[in-house]
Each structure stands twice: as structure tokens, then as C-alpha cells.
Structure 1
Amino acid sequence: MEQGVQGSAATWEGTRVPARQRPTDTGFPAQQRSTDTDLPAQQRPADTGLPARERDAAVPGAARGEHTHGERPIPAPRPAVQRTSVRGQILDALRTALVAGELKPGEVYSAPVLGERFGVSATPVREAMQQLSLEGAVEVVPNRGFRVVERGARELAELAEVRGLIEVPVMLRLARTVPAERWAGLRPLAEDTVRAAASGCAATYAESDRAFHRAMLSLSGNEQLVRIAEDLHRRSQWPLVGGPVRHGRADLVADASEHTALLDALIARDLDVVRELVGEHFTGAG
């Protein structure tokens, strides 16, 4: 349940005291202390006919230009942060469901139904689905929901080709310039992909696979390259029409083994093997 955050300001208590008689130890420079008489006429509290004590009790301290005793600015409201967090979690969950084949190509899903599944309102689901629409994973169906895009082998091959055009030259350049110890530092990520592949879970492997490729490309220092390559990589992991044909355990294990072999060649700076493995890896859209 989202809850708002409210702030309050400390104000002077009791009968109003002329400015010259108020304590000066307020934490504010003199030019920042103000009274009602310092305000333009149109900003002064209206004369309600009440005695000063009763009038001041009826008018909020901020409206009377009273001191705040150096209190810090009120933080941003919590609901906005929580909505962003929920939306991000739902987006991750939907991406996982796509890779795992739980959201079927060609099927239409409504935000309210998916919201019930995840135990949230329809709003964060709808926002997450809009993001997936921008990424090309789903398309909006007016008054119904979102249809999972049907993709064929040709689109997968096109994505692999584009990824190869972008990543292969970068990897070959990095193979010549990055020290062996930097490549060795990626060994845990390569081993993660092997364990994920052995589990047979396509969604778990997809995440570890992207992490490994992202870490390798990050050595280029080109953040735009990393972001674009990861977007293409994510798209290549979505299921094809008819089910996740290439996401069997054997396929995942074979793909992960290429990671470790490539890393070994990079550490040894064997450029011929690196060129061969990189080409094979992208031919298989790994």
C-alpha cells in the first residue's frame, strides 16, 4: 500500500511578539527572518476580526511567514518512489515471463488480469507493458490489452546479424588491447552462465548471459554501445512462434561453453581463436 509522506514546520507559540523582541538565535541570517509586516500588502494574512492569538492559531505558520528553525527541505513524496519501484519489478517479471514462454506469442493479456497475478494494481502493469511496447515485445490492442508479438526465425537471424556487426569488431579490438588480468576478472560471470545453463531455466540463463556480454563490452568504455547492444541482446532472447525451440538445456549448455572458451582465448590473446569463437557465437545468436 502506497502511503504519502507529510512534513510539518515548527512555528512560534503563544502570543505574537514584535520582530525586535523575538529571540535572535534561530539559525537564520537576519535578512532571511521575516514578519507579517515585511510582506507586501497582498501577501499579509487577511484581517479576520479575530484577536491576534486566535488569528495566528487559524493561519498556518508558513502563511504567516514564521520561522522554520533551519529545518531541512521535505523529501520527495514516497508514493512516486514506490510506484517507480513497483513498475520496475513488474517490468522485470514480465520480461522473465516472456523469455520463459509464460506469455505466449500472439496471445492478448490485460493489465487487470496480470495485476491480479502479481498482486498489484493494473497501473504499474500497464506502465510496464507500455515500456515493452516501446521495446517491440508487445503491441497495444485497444480496449483489450497487449498482444505478445509473434516473431519468426528470420527476425532472430536479423538480430544476430546486427549484433554481430556491432559487437564483433569491438571484441576483436578489445582482444588486442585489454590486459589478460581484466579478462580473468570476468571468469565468475562466465561460470555463472554455465551454472544457469545447467539449471535448464531459460529466464535464469538469459539474465546471466546478458550480464556476461555486458561486462565484456563495458571494457570498451562506450556506454552507448553497451546500452544498444544489450537492447538487441534482450530482443534476441524473446521466444519464437511455437515455443522456445532453441531454449532447451542442451542449447543453453552449448552456448555457455562458448563463453568460457572465448574467455580462455582472450586471456591467452589467441586472436585467431577469438575471431572464430566470436563469429560462431553470434551465428547462434548467443
Structure 2
Amino acid sequence: MPGSGAVTRNTLRQQIADALRDEVLAGRLPPGTEFTVKQIAEQYEVSATPVREALVDLSAQGLLESVQHRGFRVRVFSVDDYRGMIEARTLIVDGIFRQLVERGTAPGSGEMLVSVRRRAEEACRAAHSGSLEVLIGYDLRFWRELSGLVGNAYISDFLHRIRVQCWVFAVPHLKAAPDLHTGLWSGHNELVDAVTRADAAEVRSLVHAYNQRALDWAAGLKAVGA
């Protein structure tokens, strides 16, 4: 069948990119880790072409850096980078909720809210138990689906990219913390409740507190020279 090879390769490319992103988010590929296309191809027992394409995709998303003559490296984000991410995230999320208040949710949002609530419950459960890897998965899905309520895929994709980068920075620091579960945000249920009630003031309050918490945490890291 014409074109089937390209479809297979593109699917493989996405699978490899997703697998490597998960490894980075889980902290199994820490910031600064270097590897080559050949090493990844051998690890996944695939050809070099889809691997190279996957690594280029992750570089475009800001998770990897190309190292001349040496391959790729997991990007190292600074505390200042993280603060910039939080500021960008704040502007995007504020815009999302402003649009929800002014225009309402996109068609079919009733079913989406049910799914968002499920993600919220699982994320809260993981945060309270200190299950960081589980929390990251549900937290990313929660915010992606919540931002999807405005019906603009570009906004959802951009926010998702920033949130992935935030987690890439945060994971090593959170894993090194002696009291991991106390540092994890667990306000997902409260936020989805406020969105469901269309309580704009409460939504703004919760989101502001959430972002301020992240900025305060970053300031603490900066103070100790992390």
C-alpha cells in the first residue's frame, strides 16, 4: 500500500519521542545527560532515521539540545528559566480562564469536564501519596484537557509544552526533597469545582495561589544556590 512505510515511520518517531519524554520527566534521563542517535536506536532496536527525527522533535520542544559532534543532551534549565516559564504559564492560564468567563466553554465541554474531573481526582491522589511520576502524567492531562475547554488547540499545545518544561526542571529538585509529598500541589479538585460553578473570582484566586507557590519555591531554590 503506497505511503504505509511513511506512516509506520512517523508512528515510530512519535513513540520514541514519547518514550524519551517520559524518561526525562521521570528523572531517569537527568538534565545534562548526553547520548547519540546510535545509542537510542540500539536501545529501542530501531533504525536511526525515526530516532533522529524524534530527537529533533524533542529539541524543538526545548527538552533536548544538539551537541556538535556528540549527539544530544537533556537540557538543563536554571531557576531563572523556571521563573520565566511560570510567568509565561500565568499569562496563558489567565487568558484561558478570562475567555471561559467571557465566551463560555467550547461545544461538548460537558463531557470534557467529566474527564477533567477524573484527571483531577487521580492527580490529587498521587500528590497526597507523593507518587511523583503518576502525578506528572495526570497533571499534564488535567491541564491539557482543562485548557481544551476554550476549543483552541494552539493554546492547549503551547501551555502543554511549557508545563512539560516546568516538570523537567522541577523533578530533580523534588526528588531530592526529604518531604516530597508536602511540596506537591494538590488543588486540582478545587480548581475544577470552581470552573464547573463558573466562579471566576475563585478560579483567579486558586490559580494565583498556585503560581505564587511555584514562584516562592523557585525563590527558595535560588536562595540556597540550587
Q: Same fold per TM (> 0.5)?
A: yes
Look up the SS of the partner of 2:72 in the other structure.
strand
- Give the whole-Å Cα distance in 1 for the aligned partners of 2:89 and 2:75: 20
**1:11 equivalent in structure 2:** none
Q: Note the alpha carbon deviations across 1:255-278, whole angstroms, 9 max, x for none.
A: 2x2110111222334333221101
The aligned counterpart of 1:258 is 187
Cα distance change, pair 261–122 in 1 and its aligned pair in 2 (3 A): same
- Do structure 1's residue 216 and structure 2's residue 149 form an aligned pair? no
Query: Which moves more between the two structures, 168-177 or 128-137?
Result: 168-177
CA distance in 1, matches of 2:93, 2:71: 36
Q: Conserved in 1, the CA contact under 8 Å of 2:191 and 2:206? A: yes
Render the CA deviation track for 1:17-39: whole Å, top value 9, x for unaligned.
Answer: xxxxxxxxxxxxxxxxxxxxxxx
**CA pair 183-126 structure 1, distance change in 2 beyond 3 A:** closer
State the secondary structure of the residue aligned to 1:239: helix
1:117-156 Cα distance to aligned partner (Å, 9 max, x none)? 2222333222111111112211112222101211111111
Corresponding residue for 1:235?
165
3-state SS of paired residue (2:66): strand
Structure 1 counterpart SS, 2:201: helix
Q: Which residue does 1:140 correspond to in 2? A: 66
CA contact (8 A) 1:141 1:147 kept: yes
Paired position in structure 2 for 1:276: 205
TM-score after normalising by structure 2: 0.79
CA gap of 1:123–1:164, structure 2 versus 1, over 3 A, is same
Q: Conserved in 1, the CA contact under 8 Å of 2:194 and 2:202? A: yes
Structure 1-normalised TM-score?
Answer: 0.64
Distance 1:284 1:116 in 2: 42
Moved more, 196-205 or 102-111: 196-205
Structure 1, unaligned runs of 5 or more: 1-74
1:245 corresponds to which residue? Answer: 173
When structure 1 is superposed on structure 2, of 111-120 and 159-168 the one drifting more is: 111-120
Q: Cα 1:251–1:100, aligned 2, differ >3 Å: closer, same or farther?
A: farther
Q: 1:44-66: CA deviations, max 9, x gaps?
A: xxxxxxxxxxxxxxxxxxxxxxx
The answer to whether structure 1 residue 151 and structure 2 residue 77 are counterparts is yes
Q: Which has the higher contact order (CA 8 A, sep 6+)?
A: 2
Q: Distance in 2 between matches of 1:115 and 1:90?
A: 9
Percent sequence identity is 32
* Secondary structure class of the residue paired with 1:104: coil
Q: How does 1:98-117 map to 2 (within 5 A)?
A: 98-117=24-43
Larger Rg computed on CA atoms: 1
What SS does the aligned partner of 1:139 have?
A: strand
Root-mean-square deviation (CA), in Å? 2.7
The question of whether the paired residues in 1 share the 8 Å contact of 2:112 and 2:145 is answered with no
Residues 101, 239 of structure 1: 8 Å contact kept:
no
Q: How many residues align?
A: 208
Residue 59 (structure 1) aligns with: none
Do the aligned residues in 2 keep the contact of 1:100 with 1:201 (CA within 8 Å)? no
Deviation (angstroms), 1:86: 1.1
Q: Kindly tell me: are residues 203 and 182 of structure 1, through their superposed partners in 2, closer, same or farther at Cα, counting changes over 3 Å?
A: same
Aligned to 1:72: none
C-alpha contact 1:176 1:269 (8 A) present in aligned 2: no
